[in-house]
Amino acid sequence: MKIFNKIPESLPITPILDKVEFPKDIRSFSNDELKQLADELREFLLYSVGVSGGHLGSGLGVIELTIVLHYLFNTPEDDLVWDVGHQAYPHKILTGRKNIINTVRQKDGLAPFPVIKESEYDAFGVGHSSTSISAALGMALANKKSLDNKRTIAVIGDGAMTAGMAFEGLSHTGHEKPNILIILNDNDMSISENVGGLSNYFSRIWASKLYKGIRKSGSSFLKNLPKAHHLARKVETQMKAMVAPGMIFEELGLNYIGPIDGHNIDEMLEVIGNLKEFEGPQFLHIITKKGAGLDAAEDDRIAFHAITKINGEESTKSKSPKYQDIFSKWIVDTAENDTKLVAITPAMREGSGLVEFSKKFPDRYYDVAIAEQHAVTFAAGLACKGKKPVVAIYSTFLQRAYDQLIHDVAVQNLDVTFALDRAGLVGEDGPTHSGNYDIAYLRCIPNIILMTPSDENETRKLLTTAYNFKGPSAIRYPRGSGPNVDVSEELAPIAIGEAKLIKEGNKNIVLLNFGALLHEARIVAEDLDLTLIDMRFVKPLDTKILKKYLRNAHMFISLEDGSISGGAGSAVQEFCSEENIIIKSKLLGIPDKFVAHGSREDMIRDAGLEAKQIIKTLETMLE
């Protein structure tokens, strides 16, 4: 493997890669040409991500695996399913998208993850973790019913294997026993460091040099002798039981092979080439390095999970604090005053702003791995015994624990605070990561209160309000920076359900703002001389202020960075119906569609939520 000490800033010379437009082009290459292709692909990936920004470390770690899979399997006829998709950039480069890979994550450019509509080589659309085994099993069983001799391959990381869904898929696979190859890409990482017993299990296997040596020299040789098949299987089982720290995958009904070197093309060609011919479910364990081939990325695998452009507008953006930084300081300050506070995150320490907390209060910090369902019920258990759990989670990932939120927290009215980062339109990661639906799916749950702060200072106030509330509470805030207002050091709550009058204008038309689009709302209110209220709370609504301003108004307009369907505006309509307030309404928010990836600003424009768009819409309607 060629090692690079920096990201190239000019287009590299890649004579072998230039011959490849689709995977069929590499299937005539010699082993030496495949190795050269790996070096060129790695250098091209470094250059292209340096130009576009995006996910880097995971892709660097699967360069050799991607080449081997497309070399050995007849893609796209054979189904290749990637988990999460952070590692899919090399796959995109080799499947007809090399010349536009620098558009990844940009408006009208390539998606950051595999997408069925983007390419026939993207067998399954992904974005959230731990789905590949279940999806691949469905494909394998469907293929089994057809006359086609299709192969099905799932590639899943060790971080994604910490989720319960992965083991549900494994258990069903072991029961059905289709011809499927599951490849565990073990790089000892997810985004943060992996945690938990399963991670320790992989680490112990990795450290077992004896096991690796036996697997390489002994068992594969025996398997190539048909007459010795039963002896080989017996010897292999005994060897695995002797040197491997557990037989979890074999017990689930899969043939476990490995671990092998995921950067050794010769070894993978031999092993995977043999596994193609095996009947039943095969589980191949490979060892890779996240960030492989770039010194800095190997040294700091968390920082190089994804990068911004080497040269571009990102480098000149404001250095104002992000909402996750506001949360970070708030939770540390609150924990210093309350020893009952416990912080929980499902593998998102850095993204959620819990790094400082984890250092200062290690005994009160829990990273439960990619296990959102467990995170919520675990918090419920802590709350039962008098602790004050704060679950820091991305809005889009809380969707995975909806049943636990209702059944284990809300029904029992337990004191759990949910800090929902990345609410609303997130930008470049696109619709799989946008938190558009939390208002709609949370406000219908009894016992919970729900808050939508409009700036950094409001976020700190409402976090304190949520934490002090004796019951389930949720506060949602967007990705990135806010308007950069001054933030008070106080840990002062506000009254539950209290809205804030921003501007009193034309009382016939009232603009109700919910959340982070207040800046746009101010522009609209000034331009059209509207009365503007920052509602702060979706549940409970400030009924006093609504009665005061809506009873004699002609129309209300609601503005939210969330789904119109079932959203905050709908809550106001329901209130008006209950109070027999006859009033026209215009609900502004995210329309009933998945908004394509781009910058957050691009997505807001696509949703029609920029101030000038709102003004034009309202002017036309008012005429």
Q: Active-site positions?
A: 290, 372, 400
Contact call for residues 64 and 26 (beta carbons, < 8 A): no
3-state DSSP helix/strand/coil % of the chain, to nearest 5? 45, 15, 40
Q: What distance in Å separates the CA atoms of residue 496 and residue 424, rounded to the nearest whole number?
A: 23
Residues 195-229 as b/e (b if ≥16 CB within 10 A, e otherwise) read: bbebbebbeebbebeebbebbbeebbeebeeeeee
Contact call for residues 79 and 143 (beta carbons, < 8 A): yes
Tokens of 467: 């934490």
Cα radius of gyration rounded to whole Å, the chain:
27
Per DSSP, the three-state class of 258 is strand
Q: Quick one: DSSP state of residue 562? A: E
State how far the alpha carbon of 301 is from the alpha carbons of 130, 187, 243, 394, in Å. 20, 10, 29, 21
Contact call for residues 290 and 301 (beta carbons, < 8 A): yes
Residue 12: exposed, middle, or buried by beta-carbon count in 10 A (0-12, 13-18, 19+)? middle
Contact residues for 567 (Cβ-Cβ < 8 A; gap 6+): 439, 440, 514, 558, 560, 587, 589
Where do we find the tokens 């470049």? 428
